[in-house]
Chain A
Amino acid sequence: MTKTTQPKAARRIINTTLLTAGLALSAGAHAFTVISFGGASGDAMQEAYYSPFTEKSGVRVTAGDYNGEFARIRAMVETGNISWDVVEVESPELARGCFEGLFVPIDWERLGIKDQVIPEAVTECGVGIMVWSTVLAYDADRLPRAPESWADFWNVEEFPGMRGLRRGAKYTLEAALMADGVPADEVYDVLATAEGVDRAFAKLDELQAHIQWWEAGAQPPQWLVAGDVVMSSAYNGRIAAAQEEGRNLQITWNGSVYDLDYWTIIEGSKHVDTAYDFIRLASQAETQSVYSSRIPYGPVNPDAIALLSDKQAAQMPTHADNLVGALAMNTEFWVDHGEELEQRFNSWASR
């Protein structure tokens, strides 16, 4: 070892320290971050929204995904560590977060797209992204006949095998009640009573041994393809993406639960201006039609439907044929009862 080693090593250590200090100083300055539910939908957003936005504005979009864990947003605002800017949220979370002051109220004048989108897309803190649906999906090659309802989903004699359900109370309790013979338009009335909740859990008890719980939207198609489950609740768009791969996955629209997802801006974001530009671009007919042609979720901009082919339009949850027997998700119900039911669901499922 030569004489120069010592200063060199010392210098290296000093450099590292300086570099670390420099990084520490730059802490908190993060790039414009958009969080979605990821998967096939995230890929479609990349193509339809993120890339065009970067091209147009020069601002890079750091894309991330989550599974709707509302608590992460709460923790961010409460601890003052805002690392997300624009987030895709489901409607009950939007209402709850808006009320608790976690989201920036939308200035619709400034956004200037109020007359371009459907009325449901316009809310206090959120801008509609698309209409999606939780459907009963199955692998037609593995079943003797097509299941027609959630009652068939519970019928393990005629359709032996595992079933996939979303790990959470939302959509699962609705499906259980519909399987128990409650008509779609009475589901939320029944679920609002204590007996109704007990009834839903009792129905889940029946099927528990046959349920494989999923958390991420990509799991149901993966499991259906691999044969882990014969039927599953699933986001309709993910199933369509698998169909394009040449797999014989099918959808039963009867008893599907549809809802809107929204863009929202996290309170305390340092990129509010950029967020407005982003949301504006993502609500245009052109970008929305690119998104909906990649994954069949209904656009909130009606002009976008005209840009889709008939075949694509027929796959949308909003298509008239698909709305027969479908249930509109009741946001108010889940805002009021969500936490209680999720808690009960969780201690039920972890047994």
Chain B
Amino acid sequence: MALQPYSSPVEHIWFWTFRIFCALVLIFLMLPVLVIIPLSFSSGSFLTYPLPGFSLQWYQTIFSSGPWMDALKNSMIVAPLATILAMVFGTMAAVGLNRADFPGKGLLLALLISPMVVPLVIVAVGMYFFFASVGLLNSYAGLVLAHAVLGVPFVVITVNATLQGFDYNQMRAGASLGASPLRVFFTVVLPQIIPGVASGGLFAFATSFDEVVVALFIASPTERTLPMQMFSGIRENISPAIAAMATIMILLSVLLLLVMELLRRRSENLRSTQ
């Protein structure tokens, strides 16, 4: 909404009100994320401003303490495995969905995306009872499977979107030249849809890395993930160690954001060259 030179004073006022309103909304979005960072350098042990002094002790605490490092390690085991599972299953399904039309396709798509929609508590309670009866409760495998379920919709959606512009004649060309279907997939299809697969994977990774509800129900302290540790930290033991971990996680989200942006650019480039 550019300001025209011939605008009336009323429009001037509206224009600036609008701009200031948007600026406030942007501050509202960003401020909480920024506010928590300085607290991680507090020398006191409560999460309050003003800071009593500067100190790196809380970073030392999380990097030397067993629970925080164990939690980070667990998240680093669970999230990548869940992501790979989600990516493999999700990409296959998205390719399949784009290959042919059949009755009930819409319903099937709705099913594949539903883990994103069903309230987490319901997923958590359901898995809690189910995993308890099959011996998957309190295990890494259970956690990986659960998080893979939650990550799948993102992969299906992003790969599906990337495939919308895909020309299937390329596959036929590949097959007619004698390549096996797998080979066609890995050499012709995958390079073109990799931005979609990767960004779906990033979403799935972020989901697992941030998921706390299901984990609270189905994991024991042995498999405690980073969000679980954060949750109990916020509830039971409020200290600037939370802020320190939060700062590290914010850095991670900046990283995720950058990778996402790169992927978006790349897929845009691919599309424009087609």
Contacts and interface: CB of A to CB of B under 8 A. Distances in A.
Is any CB of A less than 8 Å from a CB of B in the complex? Answer: yes
Interface of A: 1, 5-6, 9-10, 12-13, 16, 19-20, 23-24, 26-28, 30-31, 33, 35, 37-40, 42, 62-65, 67, 79-81, 83-84, 215-219, 221-222, 225-226, 245
Contacts of B55: none
23 contacts: A1-B190, A5-B187, A6-B183, A6-B187, A9-B186, A20-B81, A26-B139, A27-B136, A30-B220, A31-B222, A33-B220, A37-B236, A42-B236, A63-B67, A63-B221, A64-B221, A64-B224, A67-B235, A80-B132, A81-B132, A83-B220, A84-B221, A245-B44
| A contact face: mostly helix, strand, loop, or mixed | mixed
B170 to A, nearest CB: 14
Nearest to B232: A65
A20 B85 contact: yes
Contact of B236 (A1, A27, A31, A65): A65
Given A13-B88, A24-B139, 12 more contacts: A27-B141, A40-B237, A67-B236, A79-B133, A83-B220, A83-B221, A83-B222, A216-B236, A218-B237, A219-B238, A222-B47, A225-B46
B185 to A, nearest CB: 9
- Nearest first, the 4 closest Cβ-Cβ pairs linking A and B are A83-B220, A27-B139, A64-B221, A24-B141
A217 B237 CA distance: 8
B132 A84 contact: no
Contacts, number: 110
Interface residues of B, number: 39
B141 A218 contact: no
A222 B238 contact: yes
B273 to A, nearest CB: 17
A27 B81 contact: no
B202 to A, nearest CB: 18
A295 B129 CA distance: 39
Contact of B135 (A1, A23, A28, A64): A28
Contacts of A83: 137-138, 220-222
Contacts of B237: 38-40, 42, 65, 216, 218
Which DSSP category, helix, strand, loop or mixed, fits chain B's interface? helix
A35 B186 contact: no
Nearest to A245: B45
B182 interface: yes
Contacts of B232: 38, 65
Contacts of B224: 64
Contacts of A81: 132, 135, 137-138
B100 to A, nearest CB: 24
B35 to A, nearest CB: 14
Nearest to A64: B221
Contact of B136 (A24, A30, A216): A24
B145 to A, nearest CB: 8
A9 B194 CA distance: 14
A222 B85 contact: no
A83 B85 CA distance: 26
Nearest to B218: A81
B137 A16 contact: no
B182 A6 contact: yes
